[in-house]
Amino acid sequence: MASNTLFPRSSGVLLHPTSLPGRYGIGDLGQYAYQFVDWLAAAGQSIWQVLPLGPTSYGDSPYQCLSAFAGNPNLISLDVLQAKGWLTAVDLAKVPDFPPYKVDFGPVVEWRTGVLATAYRGFKARATAEQKAAFQTWCQQEAAWLEDFALFAALKAANGGRPWVEWAPDEALRKPAAIASARETHAEKISEVKFLQWCFFSQWLDLRDYAHSKGIRLVGDIPIFVAHDSSDVWGNPQFFYLEPSGKPTVIAGVPPDYFSPTGQRWGNPLYRWDVMKADGYRWWIERIRATLATVDAVRIDHFRGFEAYWEVPASEATAIKGEWIPGPKFDLFEAIQKALGSNLPIIAEDLGVITEGVIELRDGLGLPGMNILQFAFGGSGGENRFLPHHHVQNSVVYSGTHDNNTTLGWWMDPKEVSPDIREYLKAYVGHEVQEPHWELIRMGMASVAHTFVAPMQDILGFGADTRMNTPGKESGNWGWRFTADWLQHPNHQKLAWLTKVFDRWPAKTAS
């Protein structure tokens, strides 16, 4: 599938938009998103990688979204809405004193929800005929997913945010009469949800176009599984293993390993791949199509699940009593290729328990896999596949990901970096390690891998208190932010210099 025309030698930064600066409590698609694009371009970066952009819910995880197709309304720039005349200066005059270095999700979402509702009223009252026509046209174009999602979101709001299996049974199980009645009862809320989706995608595509004008490609993220409490499962129950009540019978996870003696019980419902195949894998094809309409390449999280996945009975409290079940393998991707083209810019997240079958699937599709440099110096010594001298060209190398500690935090934690690892890294680089984040960034830049990506925290030299996510930790994740002054940090020049040294500077501006 992949080729070097899709993945030229390049480098970039992993930063979710929620981490951007701004006075509204959470990063958004406004002023600082554009400044970050400028920052990337000035440093010779040509990739901005983000996490999934969908609407989050309980736990605030972008990997447990309310929809695989919708956008997160909390990323909508309020300043852009004001510029369009749908919010006023008075509407934005009194902003709560939100913390600048983290997203306090509860208060932020509550405040922004009220402001966005005001923007919807402003749109209805003051939008031009041309703007209203553009909104209606967009709704018609996106109806395949938007109709279900807007009704789902309206019903969820009417039910106090509760999961859909806790709604009135006729609404939960989509009885036609109940659905028709709900569309009438909640018509105004449905319209507001659609409006906010239009705002999100309009702003995102404007940002994407600006990024393209600066030579920046956007890399998105598709979690292999979807949340049970999502419009995807509610609207397409036939594609999932569910009880008649809508609750899952089996769920996703990973088996016990060195890091977790009970495994990881993710809780996502599992796909009925036989039913999806009989339907021509239509849902997956549309999911890939929709994502690639908004980004230039996409990382598929937990790629190994297409080869085989860990199935856990939903009644189990841990992931211990599970079993490996064969996935759709090449069959799914052949259907996607037939529908969308054979040369798709997909990155396979091939971490975890990787078998020969997973490697055969990844390489048979020609997809780049992932190398994580924080994983390179423990365990199997010189045979460790993450060490730079084992990298292959068709791969993407990271200093760390959103699930890792920051590199400085990793280095300072004796539970993660033993004296042996310290000595090994010292021997590998040939000198005492003073700035571990820059050692790994240099290593990644020097790698033969066509793409190198570093989290923003590593470029800024931040410690463990800025970690984005700790897997298995139920709360306190996803909230890291930085302030605008860090965009002037001198590390920017160091990043630019290494990008030139290791021939990752975009060719058209290399001079």
Rg (CA), the chain: 23
**d(C-alpha 425, C-alpha 387), whole Å:** 10
CA distances 477 to 103, 272, 471, Å, are 10, 31, 9
Whether the Cβ atoms of residue 37 and residue 401 lie closer than 8 Å to each other:
no
| Helices 436-446/419-429 angle, 10° precision | 50
Both structure tokens of 284: 């997956």
How many CA atoms are closer than 13 Å to the CA of 440, on its beta-carbon side?
29
**d(C-alpha 350, C-alpha 358), whole Å:** 8
Query: Which residues are identified as catalytic?
Result: 301, 349, 403
Kind and range of the H or E run holding 264: strand 264-269
Q: Which of 123, 136, 188 is nearest to 158 (CA)?
A: 188
Cα of first residue to Cα of last residue in the chain, in angstroms, is: 32
DSSP for 8-42, written as a single string: -SEEEEE--GGGS--TTSS--SSHHHHHHHHHHHH
